[in-house]
Amino acid sequence: MTAQIKSKVHLLFPFDLGLELDFTGKDASQFFKEISTRRMGMLSIEGKKFTDTEFTTQVYRFGVGMIQISFELESDLDYLANLSCRIEKIYVGKTGIISYCQSLVEGLIGRAAKYAKYRYEKRFNESELFPITVFKQQPADDANAFIKKHQKALFGLLSGESRYDLLSAFVLEKDKIVNYGYYENEIILIKRFGAAVYSGESSVIIEMIKLAFAQYWSLRAYNYILDLELDTSQKLLDKLPPYYKFWLIPNAYQIFSNEALGFDRDKISIVDSLYNVISNVPAVESDWHLRTLHQDVNKVFNIDELHKTVETKIERIEESYNSAREYLSTNFFILLDIIFFLSLVWSVVDTFLLWRISAK
């Protein structure tokens, strides 16, 4: 049984807008200001209620939004770990928290559409909640000793592993909890499914995690879009007509042109957004600790590898469309050769017939 700890829990719900947004203009600025922060109804989970909850929405230029639901509680570490494993069972009034967030997203997308400079045909619409637990009081004088003593509960809090108390020494050693804290009493623990923080710079760290999580979600959305594009390009290659069915080439070329232009528009938007994702980072370059932490957070969310995956898929789709372009061009010239040959044959036949007629 661990001691009671005053904490503030932040639940992050990312979502893909399916839009690239234009933040310029007074109307747009006012709109995004209005959706930023508001109080919300009571949260509850299995009979326990949380009051004085806060709801915040943040929209990033690269087309991803983040709903943040925050509430305070005082509990032991085991309860925090169990809560982290069951956050999807939280209710907002009588509505499940996932359904509540999804309904807010649909309304927001409808209102934000008029500020879009580009809209994708399909939207990545998976759901996930990421919990960040901020300790409002120092859990222990020695952070490392605290982590070692409660590593199973902390592992459950960070990883969403509901049976954390049964974890083996092998698992705890293989997926060791790393403290990214700068000072000896500072606690900054981050894994793919949760984070726990005790730091004088907790607000900056939260924003850093939010941005990395939004980047991760943005890259997942682009992966989703590119998978659809890749599937389309492969089907297009499979259905290209052979040269001897030359009458089908014009229609195939029109379909190819439409799909290729659609991909080019998506590619321009994605590449531009990837630049915004990489460059839109907190001002941490002057602080070694925050700069290093930012790099470590990106590693937790595998940002660099996802970025490479997106670039590779773009290249593969381009190769598919280039192959289709070369194939159609080759068949088009074969078609021209056939037409030229038939024209030549007809000219010879026509000349021969005229000669025969004139000879009579």
- pLDDT tens for 62-120 read 778 889 999 999 999 999 999 999 999 999 888 899 998 888 888 887 777 777 766 77
- Lowest mean per-residue pLDDT among 121-135, 182-196, 328-342: 328-342
Distances in Å between the Cα of 339 and the Cα atoms of 183, 342, 343, 346, 347 are 80, 5, 6, 10, 12
**Residue scoring higher pLDDT (253 or 342):** 342
Beta strands in the chain (DSSP E): 5-16, 19-21, 37-39, 43-45, 48-50, 54-59, 64-75, 91-92, 95-96, 116-119, 130-135, 187-191, 194-198
DSSP result, 146-190: HHHHTHHHHHHHHH--TTGGG--HHHHHHT---B--SSTT-EEEE
Q: Which pLDDT value is given to residue 11?
A: 95
Two structure tokens written together for 229: 């594009």
Q: What is the mean pLDDT of residues 334-352?
A: 71
As a whole number of Å, the CA-based R_g of the chain is: 29
* pLDDT score, position 279: 45
pLDDT score of 10: 94
User: Which residue do the tokens 């759901």 mark?
Assistant: 127
Report d(CA 127, CA 112) in Å as an integer: 20
327 pLDDT more than 60: yes
- Note the pLDDT of residue 263: 62
pLDDT over 50 at 260, yes or no: yes
111/164: higher pLDDT: 164
Looking at 9-23, 243-257, 263-277, which range is the least confident one? 263-277
- Residue 195's nearest CA partner among 104, 55, 293 is 293
Say how far apart CA 113 and CA 118 lie, in whole Å: 9
pTM for the model: 0.78
Mean pLDDT is highest, among 186-190, 235-239, 272-276, for 186-190
Specify the pairing of strand 130-135 against strand 194-198. Answer: parallel
pLDDT tens by residue, 222-232? 888 788 777 77
Both tokens assigned to 15: 């979502």
d(CA 133, CA 120): 35
Q: Residue range 333-354: average pLDDT? A: 71
Which has the closest alpha carbon to 120: 20, 36, 30, 210?
20
Could you tell me what percent of the chain has a pLDDT over 70?
71
Q: Is the pLDDT of residue 219 over 80?
A: yes
Cβ–Cβ < 8 Å for 52, 72: yes
pLDDT number for residue 114: 73
- Residue 273 scores a pLDDT above 60: no
The token pair that represents 231 in the structure block: 């599937």
User: Which whole number is the average pLDDT over 294-320?
Assistant: 82
CB 216 within 8 A of CB 306: yes
